[in-house]
Chains A and B, each alone.
Chain A
Amino acid sequence: MDRVDFVTLALLLGLPPTLFALLAVGLDAKPVILWTDALLYLLVAAVTGFVLYARRRQDLRDTWRAVLRRPLGMAALVVLSAYGALGLVDSVHFRLPVSQGEGGEVHYAGESLSLFDLMATPLREGVEKTYSAPLAITAFVKETVERADGTRVREYPRLRYGGAHLDDPSRHRADVAARALWGAAQGALVAVAAFLLLAFLLARRHGWSWAEAAGRVLRGETTLPWWSALATLTVLLVLAGAVVQLAGGYHVFGTDKVGNDVLYQALKSVRTGLIIGTLTTLVMLPFALVLGVMAGYFRGWVDDVIQYLYTTLSSIPGVLLIAAAVLMLQVYMANHPELFETEAERADLRLFFLCVILGITSWTGLCRMLRGETLKLREMDYVTAARALGRRPGAILARHLTPNVLHIVLISVVLDFSGLVLAEAVLSYVGVGVDPSMHSWGNMINSARLEMAREPMVWWSLAAAFSFMFVLVLAANLFADAVRDAFDPRHARN
């Protein structure tokens, strides 16, 4: 491991504690580490460790480069990273101090906030009375307003926050356009900076001049398709810049029935989606890997027991098993309210258990595949040789078999991710998903469903939830395709 790797590792692992320390000093905040937060940090650490490990292994490095060599794989990775960063920022929780007691002791707010909440304070606190359309300055429904001269008229009242800075409503369109353009320009500026940085790094590594490096990136003459990453990044930054500028004065995606900002909800849901997609896998992976490899290697009664176990579990229709388990969880939580300090903790624990339950129902397919692959591998010469040399079964499993089935694990992990994100929405609709108080795309869709019947239709909640979910799932699917093509020799031909 060279010096750069150590620095990266130290930076990544040291980031959450540093953030907490800064928050504690700067805001007197009290850190809160929820279950899912802790597991998410663990996951980030594991991924970082794996990246460092893969960098040292020639074969792994080549395969991963093959993933990134596809322009779509690169673009998907950029989008996934953006979602991931948002999810991580939203996973640093703390409780702000509310009042100083007489004896100097500090009381903390009952509600825990995340770093993202702090950044999005205007969105979080800009609560309107009820529905308002995207970028509107007036409410969506008419209200009786009393004029200064005492007459009562029914009209669309101005919003409390959306466009409140405008004294003259006729400047509405011009202001929106100006803000969007200005934000897009800022985003483009950052993108240009990223481009220059990339050119600088490439120039230093390959000994090119700046101009040559920049030209090569633009013409797509680099080994990895940096142009694709750059193009995706530019689109993301321009959009993000415009949205940030607009969100300063308007509700970009409107507000929902109780006046909450829809953009804020959609962004908060990113973390929920990511957690369902990743933690579920993290939970199920050890079972599937250990049991699958054991069944394939030992055969005999071990195989029978494990096969019985996964056939039984997979014969129960997935949704029903999840529903049954979540219902039971609900009853349990309702009967034991003393276990949870805050509402957020309760919702978080429910999310965690949802991941566990989803993991239990979804490990069977992977386990079966791993068993099949191990059955093939155990007849290979190198395994026979290891056995003849007197290596213990445990060592053979750990050193010789597991590393050689990891590509199957990886492929199924990335393939499962998008399915799990989509499943969250369906489960929340059925009523057995995440806690109703938690922000999630499923909950947004579920609560906006009845608004379809309104005339004119309230479409923005649905549109926001579906488009944020679509982009994440599409990126995940494209990335999964690239990974599968690179890692699965059978798919490489097609």
Chain B
Amino acid sequence: MFAYLVRRVLYAFPILLGVNLITFTLFFVVNTPDDMARMHLGMKHVTPEAVAQWKAERGYDKPLLFNAEAEGLAKFSDTIFYQNSLRLFLFDFGRSDAGRDIGYDISQRMWPSLAIAIPVFLVGLLTNITFALAMAFFRASALDLWGVVLCVVLMSISPLFYIIAGQYVAGKLLHLVPISGYDTGVAAWKFLILPVIIGIISGIGSGARWYRTLFLEEMGKDYVRTARAKGLPETVVMFRHVLQNALIPILTGAVVVIPLLFMGSLIMESFFGIPGLGSYTIDAINAQDFAIVRAMVFLGSVLYIVGLVLTDLSYTLVDPRVRLE
């Protein structure tokens, strides 16, 4: 197990290096730092001095990959790739193009993101499993049929619609909660409740339908037939046998997204004005702050890989047949 973990972590390095190379190519090779400087300073009437100063302030005036003028190791370390991309491995995100400390911003903004993402994830999972179980229990009945139709309809609605309709009904029509904003501490609940509910509802369609398929697949297996043949009541078969076994793919499939909950939801946070990492990313995209986008891409990749490792680990926990070699 330990050897496996070490190997996975070592394997993560070439992947993260690849991610860095991709972002590096996108941000510094496709468009040179000069292009970016002109973009930021306004397209017209930009003096070469202003461009040079903008680049120097952000450390973009170094060579891309290889510094022929430096000595020894500095030939490689005194370059944009090393300074701006490889430093991310130490979780040293540096400063944004606007001059703020990215690491500090992230540590501040992850809490509002989590305050939405975790309830949506947990309650959503529970809701989806409940709905799926109900449809599978009453399979091939009118409830099942209309349940599936409802799921397809729900998943055909744009996530933007849920947000806009939710804001309109709960915020504007009924005045139940404020439309957008945020508060510190426990007082934040009234800003969080609506996004959380909308997040859960918009996930029901695809989630419940997918879990229903998993349940039905499990119910077609031999051990279920044996259990019924023994004369066990359907409820016992369902809740003791099918539910437990179908939870394996459901839980292991859900584990992979847990680390990514940190990243928050782009559109949700921006619509509701919640100062989380999702709206941080959107603001950075709109302000064309590439340093932040670069940092978030790296962070997202790290979290994704952590999620993959967690998935493997969770298999060994819930399924004794799986051993990590």
Contacts and interface: CB of A to CB of B under 8 A. Distances in A.
Interface in A276-326: 308, 311-317, 319-321, 323-325
A312 B152 contact: no
Contact of A317 (B152, B164, B172, B297): B297
Contacts of B167: 452
A328 B14 contact: no
Contacts of A74: none
Interface in A317-349: 317, 319-321, 323-325, 327-328, 330-332, 334-335
Contact of B36 (A312, A320, A331, A441): A331
Interface stretch (A134-142, A227-235, A474-482): A474-482
Q: Is the interface of A mostly helix, strand, loop or mixed?
A: helix
B263 A317 contact: yes
Contacts of A422: 158-159
Among B16, B18, B36, B260, the one with the most A-chain Cβ atoms within 10 Å of its Cβ is B18
Given A470-B158, A478-B152, A308 B285 contact: no
Contacts of B244: none
Q: Is the interface of B mostly helix, strand, loop or mixed?
A: helix
Contacts of A432: 285
Interface stretch (B26-34, B108-116, B126-134, B227-235): B26-34
B274 interface: no
Given A431-B286, A474-B153, A315 B304 contact: yes
B158 A430 contact: no
B251 interface: no
B158 A331 contact: no
Interface residues of B, number: 52
Interface in A445-494: 445, 449, 452, 457, 462, 466, 469-470, 473-474, 477-478, 481, 490-491, 493-494
Interface residues of A, number: 47
B160 interface: yes
B168 A452 contact: yes
Contacts of A308: 14-15, 18
B160 A429 contact: yes
Contacts of A491: 213
A335 B44 CA distance: 11
B220 interface: yes
A311 B15 contact: yes
B98 interface: no
Contact of A334 (B18, B43, B155, B270): B43
A477 B217 CA distance: 21
B160 A477 contact: no
A426 interface: yes
Nearest to B286: A431
B157 interface: yes
B293 A320 contact: yes
11 contacts: A312-B18, A312-B22, A314-B304, A317-B260, A327-B285, A426-B160, A432-B285, A445-B158, A470-B157, A470-B158, A473-B158
Interface of A: 308, 311-317, 319-321, 323-325, 327-328, 330-332, 334-335, 418, 422, 425-426, 429-432, 441, 445, 449, 452, 457, 462, 466, 469-470, 473-474, 477-478, 481, 490-491, 493-494
Given A312-B19, A312-B22, A328-B31, 13 more contacts: A316-B304, A317-B301, A331-B35, A331-B288, A335-B39, A418-B156, A422-B158, A426-B266, A429-B160, A452-B168, A466-B157, A466-B161, A493-B220
